[in-house]
Amino acid sequence: WWDMYTTWPGLSQMALDYLSIPVVLHPNGSFCQGRHLLVFTRNRLSGDSIRKMLCFGGWTRRDLVRTEDI
């Protein structure tokens, strides 16, 4: 993914988001979103589904994926 950054910058960013580990979590970050997903509304989702939802949410907030394309 790193070698093809100039060809597919959006895909490279998605790979970086999915494969990297966050260094710092702030109050409005993944921790709060994960808490909402896990405890309050979707307590039967698998770990894989939760990871995918958190990644996808980050991509849409950064305009890497448009909701019209879904």
* pLDDT 10s digits, 30-51: 545 555 555 555 567 777 877 7
What is the structure's pLDDT at 49? Answer: 77
What is the structure's pLDDT at 28? Answer: 52
Q: Is residue 35 part of a domain?
A: yes
Q: Is residue 39 part of a domain?
A: yes
- Cα 42 to Cα 35: distance, rounded to the nearest angstrom: 10
**Residues of the domain holding 47:** 26-63
Q: Is residue 18 part of a domain?
A: no
Q: Is residue 59 part of a domain?
A: yes
Higher pLDDT, 21 or 59: 59
- Cα 21 to Cα 23: distance, rounded to the nearest angstrom: 6
Mean pLDDT of the chain: 69
- Cα 65 to Cα 63: distance, rounded to the nearest angstrom: 5
What is the structure's pLDDT at 31? Answer: 47
Residue 57: partners with Cβ closer than 8 Å, 6 or more residues away? 33
Name the domain count of the chain. Answer: 1
